[in-house]
Amino acid sequence: MSNDVEREVLKIYEGSRPNEDDLFETSHVNHVAWSLAAVFGLAVIWLSIALVNAENQRYALVSDMCRDQVFASGVDKKCLVTVQSRDGWWQHLWYGVTHVRPEVSDARR
């Protein structure tokens, strides 16, 4: 009989027991995957900036924007650092992404 009484008392206080499943806080986020995604995202941004700078200088050289004033066949290196050969950086990025192979001029064919 006392066993039944104890069961009834335990049933009454069952709701006040702590949930042992959530006793220790755990994270269900995959930190390695998010870290790799962040690293690859930063690498893409860094490579895009490098591509924009390279394409800016390439187009400035092709269009003779940085010709040396003293030597006709020379290049002004200070000009290459500061030149803006197109209106926006996105134009350099678009051209660099869409033109993977160098264009062959008619004289070389």
Write the pLDDT tens digit of every residue in 14-43. 777 777 776 777 676 788 889 999 999 999
High-pLDDT (> 70) share of the chain, %:
89
Specify the pTM: 0.66
What does each C-alpha distance from 43 to 32, 46, 48, 49, 87 come to in angstroms? 16, 5, 8, 10, 25
Is residue 83 within 8 A of residue 62, CB to CB? The reply is: no
Distance CA 88, CA 77 (A): 21
Q: What distance lies between CA 2 and its chain's CA centroid?
A: 68
Coil, helix or strand at residue 75:
strand
What is the pLDDT at residue 105? 66
To the nearest 10°, the Cα dihedral for 73, 78, 79, 83? 140
